Amino acid sequence: MLLVYNAQLRHGIVLAPMSGYTDWPMRILCRRYGAELAYTEMISAEGLVMSTRNTLKLLEHPKEDRPLVAQIFTSSPEFGALAAEMIENQGFDGIDINMGCPVRKVVRKGAGAALMRDPRKALKIVKAVMSKVQLPVSVKIRAGWDAGSINAPEMAEILSSFGISAIIIHPRTRVEMYTAGSRWDLIGEVKRRTSIPVIASGDIRTQEDVKRVKQIGADGIMLGRVAIGRPWIFREILGHGPPGPLEVRDVMLEHLDMLCMTYGERRGMLRMRKYVSMYIKGFPGASMFRKKVNSIDNAAFLRDSIHQFFLGQA
Ligand SMILES: Cc1cc2nc3c(=O)[nH]c(=O)nc-3n(C[C@H](O)[C@H](O)[C@H](O)COP(=O)(O)O)c2cc1C
């Protein structure tokens, strides 16, 4: 049992925040297969305070999409605090502060993984956010900026001494982006330096990986890329078999419907394209179908094509 963000988790396997992917439709599907907690895509604190339409949309979620943590990114304690206030009464179970995003646009402004190089600023943001809300606050960090400045254990110790509720570690450096393997050994070091729950992220794909990372010291396990177009990975990791073709088809159709409901038919269909190629991976004819889907430009035709594709697979 893991108590985090005031939520009781039985196995502690959760869905990672992924910009461009983990909107409520993906979260709902992953929860159905066993994800016990989920995060929004990262949300710009500045965008939230300015109430830009696309940013506000990231907060939307149905009632059953809980427990749910809103993740913000910023380099400003003031904007962080204002954004946290806006999030407080909107049906969330916690706020996570992103200190791991490696994308140039984000780090150039001093946010995301840039905060790994600026622990004082990181701490100011954490304090400002915590001073404004009752919600539990966590921080998601990387290993460090580069191989020569690995400081995740120190960061975890400093931040946790100020009362954050959990630390999430993706043990790669900013410079490594998503290449190189995750440095799982760092998870143990982070755990030894803090007394709060540690959630591990990075290359965890199988039951064996989960076992190993828990042995190293993780309290919770975060699945990211492996869950894109594969929401049943949670069920598989919990010991069940993979879905048959008809179950895959039905999940795809439901996913498309939810995306169309959220973004409208056209944007929903466009957003579905990137999941389709992951859903159909490994099926005969997948590469032809992938090409076809990229030229489809209406949701009804995409629905029909998914039906057709699976007629030959049963
Ligand atoms: C497309 C994509 C978008 C991501 N967006 C976010 C994000 O918004 N916030 C965040 O903290 N991490 C983000 N990440 C990092 C993931 O949460 C996770 O830490 C990383 O992918 C490693 O885990 P994995 O190997 O299970 O994918 C993103 C990763 C990917 C691939």
- CA 293 to chain CA centroid, nearest Å: 26
Answer whether 202 contacts ligand 1 (Cβ < 6 A). yes
2-237: which CATH architecture?
Alpha-Beta Barrel (3.20)
Residue 103 has a pLDDT of 98
C-beta separation of 36 from 17 below 8 A: no
Residue 311 has a pLDDT of 94
Answer whether 102 contacts ligand 1 (Cβ < 6 A). no
CATH of 245-311 among 3.50.50.60, 1.10.3720.10, 1.10.1200.80, 3.40.640.10: 1.10.1200.80
CB neighbours of residue 137 within 10 Å: 27
Residue of the nearest CA to atom 7 in ligand 1? 18
Ligand 1 atom closest to residue 225's alpha carbon, by position in its atom list: 27
Question: Which are the contacts of 245, defined by CB distance < 8 A and separation ≥ 6?
Answer: 283, 310, 313, 314
Answer whether 176 contacts ligand 1 (Cβ < 6 A). no
260 is catalytic: no
CA of 177 to the centre of ligand 1 (A): 10
CA of 7 to the centre of ligand 1 (A): 22
Residue 114 has a pLDDT of 98
Across 33-93, the runs of DSSP E, i.e. the strands, are 38-39, 43-44, 68-73
Residue 28 has a pLDDT of 98
CA of 307 to the centre of ligand 1 (A): 31
pTM of the entire structure?
0.98
Ligand 1 atom closest to residue 227's alpha carbon, by position in its atom list: 26
Answer whether 278 contacts ligand 1 (Cβ < 6 A). no
Answer whether 17 contacts ligand 1 (Cβ < 6 A). yes
CA of 222 to the centre of ligand 1 (A): 10
C-beta separation of 74 from 111 below 8 A: yes
Q: What is the pLDDT along the chain (314 residues), one digit of tens a residue?
A: 999 999 999 999 999 999 999 999 999 999 999 999 999 999 999 999 999 999 999 999 999 999 999 999 999 999 999 999 999 999 999 999 999 999 999 999 999 999 999 999 999 999 999 999 999 999 999 999 999 999 999 999 999 999 999 999 999 999 999 998 999 999 999 999 999 999 999 999 999 999 999 999 999 999 999 999 999 999 999 999 999 999 999 999 999 999 999 999 999 999 999 999 999 999 999 999 999 999 999 999 999 999 999 997 86
Q: Rounded to 5 degrees, what are φ and ψ at 3? A: -100, 115
Residue with tokens 């984000």: 106
Residue 312 has a pLDDT of 77
C-beta separation of 67 from 40 below 8 A: no
Answer whether 41 contacts ligand 1 (Cβ < 6 A). yes
Residue 313 has a pLDDT of 85
Q: What ranges do the domains of the chain cover?
A: 2-237, 245-311
Catalytic residue from among 101, 123, 210, 299: 101
Q: In whole angstroms, give the CA distance from residue 44 to residue 181.
A: 28
Answer whether 201 contacts ligand 1 (Cβ < 6 A). yes
Residue 237 has a pLDDT of 97
Residue of the nearest CA to atom 2 in ligand 1? 18
Ligand 1 atom closest to residue 42's alpha carbon, by position in its atom list: 8
In the chain, the largest separation of any two C-alpha atoms, in whole Å, equals 58
Ligand 1 atom closest to residue 73's alpha carbon, by position in its atom list: 9
CA of 17 to the centre of ligand 1 (A): 6
Residue 296 has a pLDDT of 95
Answer whether 209 contacts ligand 1 (Cβ < 6 A). no
DSSP code at position 144? E
Residue 314 has a pLDDT of 67
